[in-house]
Amino acid sequence: MGNRILQVLLVLSATIVLLLGIIPKVIGISIRDATFTSLFDLIPVETRGQLSINETQFDNGWFRSTAQINVSYTALDLVDDLTMLVEFDISHGPFIFTKAGLKFGLAHATVQPSFNTAEITSVLTQIPFELPRLSFDLFVAFDQSLTATIEVSPVSYDDSAARVNFAGMSGSLQATPDQSSEILVSVGNLQLKDLNSQFGFNLASLNLQSSSTQISDILASRSARLTIPAINISGPLEVSARDILINSQIQKSAAADALDVYQDLRVASINSDFPFTSFSWTTEIKQFRTDIIRSYYELITDLQGQTNPNSSLAIDQSNFMNQQLGMLIVQNSLILNNSILANAFDGDHSVDLNINWAGLPNLKSATDLNISDVINAMTMILEISLDEQAIMSSQFSELVEAFVQQNFLRMENDRILLSGSLENGALNVNGEDIPIDQFF
């Protein structure tokens, strides 16, 4: 009985060892699709026409595979395409040893990119110091989720003309099988100094966090948050800014086939020759038509596909498509809200501008557009509130007094105010109707 159990255990052990030995080869057969297809699927459809990706080599081993691909990007403002050779060194699963330790998955690849474009090569050769080392890794799990990480090593350079100190950069992209994704980027301290001009730049650090419900869809809901603790510029222009925050969001609009875009910029502290000591600007764009965005990318793709983008035919096509884009914007409704808060001349000030564009859906041609239709299709509300003491102690005091006398500004409760509206073709400033015809 004991011998039978021992025989069964030996057979099971041999089977497991055999499976573990075969699995890497079986996985290696699907590595090409698992790695390259996953990467390509993350690229938005609208921008794929600008990219050309060609596999030049793929060698499939038992435990490892190697591959080379050429990536070419067509840019309108460059004579030659941007080309890059990307080399992959791929380890097969299921057990993968990485710099972060043992992982269980489908594949892990170290990636080595190199540029083949003359313009980029020329620029890089002019840099007087050795470029930082770039480490790029990909990990594909069994559920086809993908993790990409990038590391840029620190750089330090010092000579009689310039000083450069860079603490390095790290970034990661995590994409799930449904293509929801999260991007994290962290940039360390960057110091630049031109000893001849005494121009200096100091970026304390930078952190970016971005997420998307579907990374391959440029119209999918997404958000991003960028933070910079401090930026200092020295030399002829002295500027210091602290606690910089940028928030942005894109989401589906309540209107059909449209997006709402939100962006918030805040600078908590500013020290410079300019009068501003803090600043924030919030922008909302609502009901922005998705077909306008798609038409824009179609325009770019068509132009980049031209043999000679500077030819008269290409220019004519570009002008025509620009007109079509303009017509789409004019024909469809749009809501634009702006709110600005600032501290200047030791006082707090605010500006709010709200524009509701009803659109001109019956407009067939730009030649049929007239100013009366534009005015009647627009509702605009402007509110300005300034600190009276701060403004009247500045160099703008005489200008403000002149506007107050003309009733374009009014003073109430230690504030300088302006209330303006344009609605149903009627212009009103500070409660007084003004004939709009005098401006045209």
Mind listing the pLDDT tens digit for each residue in 416-430? 999 999 998 888 988
Question: Is the pLDDT assigned to residue 386 strictly greater than 90?
Answer: yes
What is the pLDDT at residue 112? 80
The pTM for the full model equals 0.80
134 versus 76: the higher-pLDDT residue is 134
What is the pLDDT at residue 314? 55
Domain ranges for the chain: 1-153, 156-237
Q: Number of H helices and number of E strands within the chain? A: 10, 26
User: Which stretches of 176-275 are assigned E, i.e. beta strand?
Assistant: 181-187, 190-194, 199-203, 206-212, 222-234, 239-252, 258-272
Question: Is the pLDDT assigned to residue 76 strictly greater than 60?
Answer: no
What is the pLDDT at residue 103? 75
What is the pLDDT at residue 122? 63
Worst-scoring range by mean pLDDT, 91-100, 149-158, 162-171, 187-196?
A: 91-100
pLDDT in tens, 196-244: 888 889 999 999 999 999 888 888 899 999 999 999 998 888 899 999 9
What is the pLDDT at residue 340? 97
Worst-scoring range by mean pLDDT, 143-152, 160-169, 298-307, 345-354?
A: 298-307
Place of tokens 């790290």: 170
How many Å apart are CA 411 and CA 394, to the nearest integer?
16
Which residue intervals of 248-344 are DSSP H helices? 290-304, 312-331
User: Is 416 in contact with 391 (CB distance < 8 Å)?
Assistant: yes
What is the pLDDT at residue 418? 94
What is the pLDDT at residue 117? 62
Confidence band, pLDDT 50/70/90 cuts, at residue 61:
low
Question: Is the pLDDT assigned to residue 26 strictly greater than 50?
Answer: no
**Above pLDDT 70, what percent of the chain?**
74
Confidence band, pLDDT 50/70/90 cuts, at residue 337:
very high
Worst-scoring range by mean pLDDT, 37-51, 91-105, 203-217, 406-420?
A: 37-51
What is the pLDDT at residue 8? 38
How many Å apart are CA 299 and CA 316, to the nearest integer?
12
What is the pLDDT at residue 118? 62
